[in-house]
Structure 1
Amino acid sequence: MQIVRELSYEEREVTLASGRKSNFYFDGKQTTLHAKGGLLVGKAFYAEVKQFDGRIDGVGGLTLGADPIATATSIAAALAGENIHAFIIRKEPKGHGTGQWLEGRKNLPKGSRVVIVEDVTTTGGSSMKAVERAREEGLEVAGIVTLVDREEGARDNIEKEGIILRSVFTRSQVVG
């Protein structure tokens, strides 16, 4: 939490992915790309992923925020003797070659159970885009894990769709 507080939290006006304005910002990548932060994020997300019922075959989400989280979580799982593969969902299909939306596809056959990972959730819109794309690719989504829930509607919006949202931290925990 200290790394999130020191590196990722800023008080300044920003425009969020949802288009809304805010007077504070969580730049999760500052934590997930930090050497110790990335290690701790991988361990924390792996602990959250293990809370879902049944087997989990993969973790991933929309590029770019999910990329280091998925990799760190996959490595943490491997260190614990479990295979949970990372995957990346592109924001648009690859412009050449196979034109695929999902990277890491060969590790996750259709029907694989996955968890969507995210650095920060506000309304849950980006997470739900990842859920939709994963489902279109034939994956079964067990739930979503976010590093920081800004506590601005994501939980309600996601859970009303019947999807579980777990958070490593909430804004209240980080900021106080």
Structure 2
Amino acid sequence: MTDLKKRLAKILLEKSYIEGEVTLTSGKKSDYYFDCKQTALHAEGSWLIGTLFLELLKDCDIDGVGGMTLGADPLVSAVTVLSHAQGRNLPGFIVRKQPKGHGTNQYLEGMSNFRPGSRVVLLEDVVTTGGTLLKAIERVRDAGLEIAGVLCVLDREEGGRANIENAGLELTSIFTRRELLDAGKD
């Protein structure tokens, strides 16, 4: 798996990691921006993320994966498609930021693949404070699903892990910022 992580780090640093002062979704200032969608929408990047997430999920007894739109959309798709190719068949769902206002008017899409009490893992591209994840956690629990954990591509190590743990969940990341920079050096 180390070779896959190193390759993913190279793609992330090339396509998704931008140094320079930015304002994040949380309102915090940062000296770098991480736009994971650029890698998650790249064919090899998507395959690597899906493969690494599935490796992290190999011992988890879960019924599927999901996450908050838009960052988690390509992550959920990668995991669901690769899980099928591996014979595991993990369906996915997407959490809307707002209910669509018509039809079923619900926050979660893909719920016909799940039943109340289904065990799921949430996927996220980058975690800073965990604010987006906390909204997703609330909506997923309100929909009657049991959350078994949270996986992310990058943990910025800026309080998100502690906030997720305070919600009773464990956050597992493919990389922290330091790990990403170190892996990309080789």
TM-score tier after normalising by the smaller chain length: over 0.9
Instruction: Give the aligned partner of residue 152 of structure 2.
Output: 146
Q: Distance in 1 between matches of 2:178 and 2:160?
A: 14
TM-score (norm 2): 0.90
Instruction: Give the aligned partner of residue 112 of structure 2.
Output: 106
Residue 164 of structure 2 aligns to a residue whose secondary structure is helix
Give the C-alpha shift of residue 118 in structure 1: 0.3
Of 48, 57, 62 in structure 2, the residue corresponding to residue 49 of structure 1 is: 57
Residues 94-117 of structure 1 show CA distances to partners (whole Å, capped at 9, x for unaligned) of: 121111111101001111111010
TM-score (norm 1): 0.95
Instruction: Give the aligned partner of residue 174 of structure 2.
Output: 168
Instruction: Give the aligned partner of residue 131 of structure 1.
Output: 137
Q: Distance in 1 between matches of 2:112 and 2:161?
A: 31
Instruction: Give the aligned partner of residue 10 of structure 1.
Output: 18
What does residue range 90-105 of structure 1 map to in structure 2 within 5 Å?
90-105=96-111
Residue 3 of structure 1 aligns to a residue whose secondary structure is helix
What does residue range 27-42 of structure 1 map to in structure 2 within 5 Å?
27-42=35-50
Q: Distance in 1 between matches of 2:138 and 2:88?
A: 26
Q: Distance in 2 between matches of 1:2 and 1:155?
A: 24
Give the C-alpha shift of residue 82 in structure 1: 0.6
**Counterpart of 1:161 in structure 2: which amino acid?**
A
Q: Distance in 2 between matches of 1:137 and 1:17?
A: 25
CA RMSD between the two structures: 1.1
Q: Distance in 2 between matches of 1:137 and 1:15?
A: 32
- Runs of 4+ in structure 1 over 3 Å off: none
Residue 149 of structure 2 aligns to a residue whose secondary structure is strand
Unaligned runs of 5+ in 2: 1-8
Unaligned runs of 5+ in 1: none
Instruction: Give the aligned partner of residue 87 of structure 1.
Output: 93
Q: Distance in 2 between matches of 1:140 and 1:63?
A: 19
Q: Distance in 2 between matches of 1:62 and 1:160?
A: 19
Residues 55-104 of structure 1 show CA distances to partners (whole Å, capped at 9, x for unaligned) of: 21111111000000001011111111112111100000012111111110
Residue 20 of structure 2 aligns to a residue whose secondary structure is coil
Query: How many residues align structurally?
Result: 174
Of 63, 75, 99 in structure 1, the residue corresponding to residue 69 of structure 2 is: 63
Identity of paired residues, percent? 54
